[in-house]
Amino acid sequence: MYNTKFGQLIKTPLLRLPKVLSDTGTSRSFVYAGVKNGTFPPPLKIGKRAVAWTAESIDTWIASKSNGGQS
């Protein structure tokens, strides 16, 4: 991932759907419905038929849920 604020490459883990589902405790349909309505982070396209989420975006989403959605 490229950080435009500091102009540097940042190494952040990418999570595939099974890991996202286990980390968030949600279902596939919940994730994609949330992406569609803007309540879940959108995935990055990493291949022709493959997507992944940054660990940071998932951690941020989990944190926002654990503090009552205050972030």
* 40-60 per-position pLDDT tens digit: 999 999 999 999 999 999 999
Q: Please report the pLDDT score of residue 39 as a whole number.
A: 97
Is there a domain that residue 52 lies in? yes
Buried (b) or exposed (e) across 4-27, using 16+ Cβ within 10 A?
eeeeeeeeeeebeeeebeeebebe
Domain count, the chain: 1
Domain that residue 62 falls in = 2-66
Is there a domain that residue 12 lies in? yes
> Could you tell me the pTM of the whole model?
0.78
Which residue in 48, 55, 69 sits closest to 22, CA to CA? 55
CA distance 23 to 40: 13
Is there a domain that residue 32 lies in? yes
Is there a domain that residue 55 lies in? yes
Is there a domain that residue 6 lies in? yes
